[in-house]
Structure 1
Amino acid sequence: MSNKTYPVLLCFLWTLFGVSKIAFTYNIYLSSYIDILTIVNFLFVFMGAGIITFRLLSKPVSFNAQIFVFFVLLLLSLLNNSIFALIFNFLVWYSIAEIVPIKSFRFVYIINIGLLIGVFYISVKLNGDTYYFDLRYGDVKSFGFENANSFPQLLIIFYLIFSTKIRHLFMLFLVYLLVFIDDIYTKSFYVILVIYPCLLLLFKYYRCRYLYLLPVMLFLGSILFVYMYASNIPIAIKVDQIFSYRISFSNIILSSIPNLYYLFFGLSGGGDEQLPMDLSYMAIIFTFGLIPSLIIILMYTRTLKSLIIKYDYGILALCTTFLLYAFVENILISFILNPTFYYVFYYLNSKR
């Protein structure tokens, strides 16, 4: 086995154990296998440590902006234990971006996300459909999850990473419609299916020079809408209804943060766990605090700027669509279901 194969294999195994964690944690039919989940969790951490070690041994580490970010987060983790998990997963993604080529990463990720989708889909075919009660639609198929919005998230992630070619996306789009149109009622699912190819076409022929400000706008916009909702401003209340009360839930959770200390440095657990935290940009504040959240947003801002300069419109469309999707689903800090972390660390490397 060549030295180039080892990092790809490590990446494959880490991603495999990552999707296995999701399966044994959230699949209704598999969540009872606690012992297997314990083993999978250990292997996930072990393979992550192996990837980091391989990166450290394969090439010298120079002090740069990314290393500085890790040191800042390490200091902040003394105030909030949940930041340790953020640091570890960032180190893994940083290492993968350094040692695994883009094509190899995409191939590995597509296989594992496809496998995860298959596990959930097959589990309900073998054991019976699972349902989530929605006030608007009644009982809605949840495909093995407790929440009906979770399975569409997997389909969207697969859709985004599958290809940056319109004809490939069109074929997958048709497959999704034929298979799932009668069972999936999540509106954001269908919106993203349309937005992604549209952005690919737009960025191919038009260079959006100020698009790098999008992460900042989404982050500040989330905070602004929550503040406006708390002030009973009509437009915020209307937007809240459009986005299925995500803003009002975020407002309730934000109100549960005891003081400014926890606002800046995070509240481990993210506030009231009984309420859905679907706005990613609010979820990172609840979990990690305002300072780490700003670091994450600035990382995405720099990445988009680099993609605009290099005119890599395919990855630019992927990351942009993902950031838009993160406004309605809590996927930004999902360490396995956020493949854009790879591109963030890949393009933040100034040598590329």
Structure 2
Amino acid sequence: MDVASLSLEALSRFVTEELGERAFRAPQLYRWLHQRGATSFDEMTDLSKALREKLRARAEIIPLVKDLEQRSIDGTIKYRWKTRDGRFIESVYMPAEDRRTLCVSTQVGCAMACSFCMTGTMGLKRNLTASEIVAQVHAVNREVRKNEGHETLRPLSNLVFMGMGEPLHNFENLKTALAILQSQDGPNFSHRHITVSTVGLVPMIERFGKETDVKLAISLNASTDEQRSKTMPVNRKWNIAALLDACRTFPLRQGRRITFEYVLIKGFNDADEDAHRLIELLKGIPVKVNLIPYNENPGLGFHTTGEERAEEFRAILADGHVAAYIRRNRGRDIAGACGQLANRGETQAGAETQT
């Protein structure tokens, strides 16, 4: 039994029904797993030796192994983790003065095949388990404590599910991971500090709104179906109109908005006409728009919009009463920015840390 993938309720059933232990042992075990991020049963010193023996015989904790660490000139750190079956995933730590954010992966590779994204070139290898999703958070918390000297068990403040994979394509494991990450006996992240991004799996957006309470981000990246279908195959199944209809019915807490991510690609989707169309598309939806100058990837044939054009695009949206911000890209020099995660050099397992 992979105990780190279990909700507290499921862990309680395992502890009482499978191990024959009293119910209060489950929260103890859960806190070791998800507050302290324990990677072995031997660390759980307030559990009896007999119980630890039972756990070793009937259960396991499957940690991620740090395979590579790369540090950017802007302070961003990209981690590459090796899974038990020899796959590799990446997560990106972005420290700032007022927050410490981790970009989390949900799949090995991605099935969405967006043509401007390096992860999309990998194809989908497999879904991550709930414990592998959560383990990224625990592992980086340990790294940050060690590197920055924090005493708190959870120095990370914000989570964005914008790493490798399409989160809503792995919804059940994502939902379990979110429940663990938000639980009081776990890391206890606030729903206000977690954002999940999707390319637009329309049926899953409705489920996501009903079954979780964290923030939603939509990767739009186009102002017409023709544009979007060229670069995002998902649009051929659920076009912009269907996607925006799902957004209009999405349950929002008071004062909350849906974030729309718009990657600015030179000569493709950054014209004045695109900005004006975007204003019309988003009418009636409480939104903010993050404009992301494209992070260039070798061999994909797309180029980034310049700073001046990006600001002109933002100004048009602002004039149309759309809150828009040009997002600062982090970790470009280590291929850790939006759309760049692709396990480059994946076969070099055990590579030394790069600084």
Q: TM-score, normalised by structure 2?
A: 0.25
Q: Larger strand proportion, structure 1 or 2?
A: 2
Structure number, greater radius of gyration: 2
Whichever structure has more helix as a proportion of its residues is 1
TM-score (norm 1): 0.25
